[in-house]
Amino acid sequence: MSNGTLMNIARKILMSFKFNDEIRTLSYPWAILHANLLHNINWLDSIESSPYFKVFGVPYDTKRLLAFGELVIYKKQKTRNKLDPKGRMAYWAGKFGYDSNILLDVDTKAIV
C-alpha cells in the first residue's frame, strides 16, 4: 500500500466525523496511524494473511479497537475534590503500542 493510499484513507476517516477544522488538523497524524493499523490487521491476498498475523503469529484482537473519533471519557490522574467530575471527554484518536490509547481532549485540544 502506498503512502498516497494511506493518506486518502486517513482523509476519509477524518471527513466521516463532524470535527471542526482545528481538531481535524490536529488529528491528521493520528488518522494516518489509524489507517495504517487498519491496513495491517486486514487480510491481504498477496501474502495470504494479514501483516499483523505474519509478524506476531496471532490475529489482532478487534474487541479492543474503537472507531476513530469516538467520544470517550478518560479518568484524570490528579487529586480532586469530592464534587469534581471523575473524568473528562476526549476523542479517541488511535492506539500507540499495544496498551496505550491516543486521546484528544475536547476542551483543551491536547493529546492525553
Question: Do 68 and 93 touch, CB atoms closer than 8 A?
Answer: yes
The count of other CB atoms within 10 Å of the CB of residue 25 is 11
CA distance to 28, 41, 88, 104, 109, per residue, from 93 (Å): 9, 17, 15, 7, 12
* pLDDT value of position 79: 63
Q: What pLDDT does 66 receive?
A: 81
Block means of pLDDT (10 residues each) for the chain, 112 residues, are 76 78 76 84 86 89 80 75 79 74 79 76
The pLDDT assigned to 71 comes to 83
Query: What pLDDT does 7 receive?
Result: 86
What's the pLDDT score for residue 1? 59
* Nearest-angstrom CA–CA distance, 109 and 93: 12
Residue 3 has a pLDDT of 63
